[in-house]
Amino acid sequence: MLPLEDDVLARTIGETLIARGAKIAVMESTAGGLVSARLLSVPGASAWFDRGYVAYSGPAKADAGTDLAQLRATGAVAAEAVLVMARGARDKAAVAYAVAESGIAGPQGSRRSTKPVGFVAIAAVGPEGERAVELQLDGSRAEVMVKIAEATLQLLAELMDAASAG
């Protein structure tokens, strides 16, 4: 179940964005809109949420600002790939922050890769820097999708916290 009633993490991210006078764009693939849904569950999100893309295909990712040549070089589920996606979303939306995610939710593995079900890559970019990680998540397809959304928001919060501490 989505924690949409009082999503403390999403609310904290929104408060931080407001304090910084910043907005965010979201580029999703495997989570299918769950990252955006969590952020948009926060009252007043229109003050800091600019746009969200759910882009599954390569052409859709290109429309949302992703450089497909760079994406093809690493494959879609890699730290480098989600950084390209996040940068593209941030640049296309002309916002301060962006996050991106891509993964293999299952139940089958990728046809073009040896990466297992549950393998995901997430990235967060902002004025203070960039972070990207690759994770192996377990669970059903729906559980992996929910875990991707949580991990993506956690990574963004860590990026923002590091900027506050620095």
Tell me the three-class secondary structure of 4-68, residue by residue. Answer: CCCCHHHHHHHHHHHHHCCCEEEEECCCCCHHHHHHHCCCCHHHCEEEEEECCCHHHHHHCCCCH
Structural domain of residue 34, as residue ranges? 8-165
95: pLDDT confidence band, cut at 50, 70 and 90?
very high
Which pLDDT score is estimated for 110? 60
Q: Is residue 1 part of a domain?
A: no
Percent of the chain residues past pLDDT 90, beyond the cut: 70
68: pLDDT confidence band, cut at 50, 70 and 90?
confident
Q: Is residue 116 part of a domain?
A: yes
Q: 15-24, 79-88, 131-140: lowest mean pLDDT where?
A: 79-88
Q: Is residue 104 part of a domain?
A: yes
Q: Is residue 44 part of a domain?
A: yes
Residue 43 is part of a domain; what is its CATH number? Answer: 3.90.950.20
Q: Is residue 3 part of a domain?
A: no
The structural domain count of the chain equals: 1
Q: Is residue 86 part of a domain?
A: yes
6: pLDDT confidence band, cut at 50, 70 and 90?
confident
Q: What is the mean pLDDT of the chain?
A: 89
Separation in Å, CA 92 to CA 50, 55, 64, 72, 151: 11, 14, 7, 20, 24
Q: Is residue 2 part of a domain?
A: no
Which of 35, 78, 85 is closest to 57 using CA atoms? 85
Which pLDDT score is estimated for 1? 43
Judge whether residue 23 has pLDDT over 50.
Answer: yes
Q: 17-21, 43-47, 73-77, 137-141: lowest mean pLDDT where?
A: 73-77
Q: In the predicted model, what is the mean pLDDT of residues 76-87?
A: 91
